[in-house]
Amino acid sequence: MRPETPRITKVPELRKGDTVVVLSGKDAGKRGVVERIFRDPRGRMLGSRKTWRNVTPLAETSVVVTGLNIAKRHTKPRPPSSAQMTTGRVPASQHGGILDIAQPLAISKVMLICSRCDQPTRIAHATLENGRRVRVCRNCGEQLEAKP
């Protein structure tokens, strides 16, 4: 029988509101704020029937950064349907045009910016006196907090 150890909760590496820098791609070197995070906690199996390989959940994690990785979406003007007229939340008609939409980036292509030293940094984890785990900057040792 194993002695029970207290279960330590996992601290997410990136959070909504963090400032990040893009490491590669067309927006390399640009900074932005994390708007959304998409996680697939299960991972998934990739490959053909003969060669299955397990992909880690981190490979399925992506982030949407405001103002970066923008794609154009061409929309057609559409007349309102009868269901939309009754709700009152949707405008009476949808205007056509070109929309700029921020697309997700792989989490491995971005790096967190420390608010104190203003440098891209890897994230360390430290345990406080009360047992709570927090994210810490590896450069300056400052505790990292996301801005809501």
Chunk the chain into consecutive blocks of 10 residues (it has 148) and report each block's average pLDDT, rounded to whole numbers.
61 86 94 87 51 57 90 84 55 77 89 92 90 89 76
pTM (2 d.p.): 0.69
Domain residue spans in the chain?
19-120
CA-to-CA separations, 81 to 22, 46, 74, 75, in angstroms, rounded:
41, 41, 20, 16
Q: Which residues pair with 112 in a beta bridge?
A: 20, 121
Q: Quote the pLDDT of residue 65.
A: 94
Q: Quote the pLDDT of residue 66.
A: 93
